[in-house]
């Protein structure tokens, strides 16, 4: 998958050829100060319906976390979030679960394109290819080496597969024995988003990223 720095459109290879579409860029909604350059992280947002089938004798199991999320956001759609900028297990699990739990209300605009002056200290993005390692580091070995927009290393179909991993990671916080989790996951529409964040090693539970959304303001140290 390609991200064009000039027009801000994403280009994806499918059986019929190369198709292009507008990814969506989320606005900063944090009400707190932001320190450091802002990066926009590729994340897939998937409409999902989950049917859980718990055995009758397992009456002691807690209510599935996903069912609580669906009830909380109703009548709005509940989403599963799958990070698209990394294939590292810890990143997919931590950020995927955090975003899925939070179900943030996003202010979205089409296109992955910003002027350099909009993000102090960040470079204007260049074209990125699926397969370019997200974990490329800067010379000091600490800050990820991409500029304003992350690469996209997880494609649409892979995101659908990883949705199962995020769902099970979400449920694992309460159902310690995942062998007892019997479910059917149906994925509907998927959207490619870019969510603003700053790299901060203090946020170890969010894979060292502070997400610049109001729903995460309570996590700021």
Lowest mean pLDDT among 26-30, 33-37, 83-87, 121-125: 121-125
Percent of the chain with pLDDT over 90: 52
CA–chain centroid gap for 220, Å, is 19
Q: 134-152 pLDDT, tens per residue?
A: 443 343 445 576 778 999 9
Q: 148-178 pLDDT, tens per residue?
A: 899 999 999 999 999 999 999 998 876 666 6
Q: In this predicted structure, what is the pLDDT of residue 15?
A: 81
Compute, in degrees rounded to 10, the torsion defined by CA atoms 127, 109, 150, 209. Answer: 170
Per-position DSSP letters for 87-137, written without gaps between them: --HHHHHHHHHHHHHH-----EEE-S---GGGSTT-PPP--B-TTS-TT-B
37 vs 18: CA distance, rounded Å: 33
212 vs 195: CA distance, rounded Å: 8
* SS3 (DSSP) at 211: strand
Domain boundaries, the chain: 2-219
């Amino acid at each position: 998958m390609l991200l064009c720095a000039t027009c801000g459109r994403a280009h994806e290879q499918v059986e019929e050829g190369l198709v292009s579409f507008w990814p969506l860029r989320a606005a900063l909604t944090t009400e707190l100060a932001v320190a450091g350059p802002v990066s926009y992280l590729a994340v897939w947002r998937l409409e999902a319906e989950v049917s859980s089938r718990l055995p009758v004798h397992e009456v002691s199991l807690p209510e599935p976390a996903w069912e609580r999320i669906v009830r909380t956001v109703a009548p709005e759609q509940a989403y599963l979030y799958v990070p698209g900028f990394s294939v590292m297990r810890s990143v997919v699990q931590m950020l995927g679960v955090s975003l899925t739990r939070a179900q943030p209300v996003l202010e979205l605009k089409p296109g992955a394109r910003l002027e350099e002056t909009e993000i102090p200290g960040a470079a204007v993005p260049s074209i990125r290819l699926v397969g370019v390692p997200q974990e490329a580091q800067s010379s000091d070995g600490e800050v990820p080496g991409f500029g304003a927009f992350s690469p996209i290393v997880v494609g649409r179909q892979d995101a659908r597969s990883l949705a199962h991993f995020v769902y099970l990671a979400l449920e694992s916080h309460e159902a310690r024995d995942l062998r007892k989790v019997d479910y059917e996951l149906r994925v509907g529409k998927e959207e490619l988003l870019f969510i603003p964040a700053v790299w901060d090693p203090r946020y170890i539970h969010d894979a060292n990223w502070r997400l610049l959304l109001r729903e995460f303001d309570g996590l700021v140290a």
